[in-house]
Amino acid sequence: MAGVAIPLSTDHTPDKTDERQRIEDAGGFDIWADGWRVGGVLPFTRAFGYRRLKRYVAAEPGIEVLQIDDGVEFIIIASAVIWNVLSNEEAVTSVRDIRDAEAASEKLAKTARARKSSGNITCLVVRFGDNY
């Protein structure tokens, strides 16, 4: 699949109809405060901690099992603050030619910082087969 970025996850955010409905069904609320926020505070609908919002914010992740075939060069696992400033395609293109996975991860994190991303900037690039 050279040249193709394939998203492997779904954002769990209060702007998604099903997530908003789940929160409201539990007695919670979402408000717009520079983006949708659970209880006016949290921009995610699934997270650990946040004791005050525990009734509304699920700690259970969405899980999907996918087959990684021989054509997959690498995967990028990153925190939301990286994806807020980089598209899937841009991230793949920027690290495709970097064979060292640690260097590729560092490049994505530095790019996010340069674009004024803040918070938990976490990134891991995993290479497969002869691509490492």
Together in a domain, 78 and 123 = yes
**3 state SS for the chain:** CCCCCCCCCCCCCCCCHHHHHHHHHCCCCEEECCCEEECCCECCCECCCCHHHCCCCECCCCCCCCCCCCCCCEEEEECHHHHCCCCHHHHHHHHCCCCCHHHHHHHHHHHHHHCCCCCCCCEEEEECCCCC
Does residue 1 surpass a pLDDT of 50?
no
Query: Given a cut of 50, is residue 105 above it in pLDDT?
Result: yes
Task: Examine residue 5 and state whether it is found in any structural domain, yes or no.
Answer: no
Does 86 map to a domain? yes
Same domain, 78 and 56: no
- Establish if 26 belongs to a structural domain: yes
Q: Determine contact, residues 1/71, Cβ cutoff 8 Å.
A: yes
Examine the domain organization and report whether 54 and 79 are in the same domain.
Answer: no
- Would you say residue 89 has pLDDT above 80? yes
Question: Is residue 1 assigned to a domain?
Answer: no
In a domain, 4, yes or no: no
The whole domain housing 51 covers 10-65
pLDDT in tens, 18-45: 999 999 999 999 998 888 899 998 888 9
Clarify whether residues 46 and 80 are in a common domain: no
Number of domains in the chain: 2
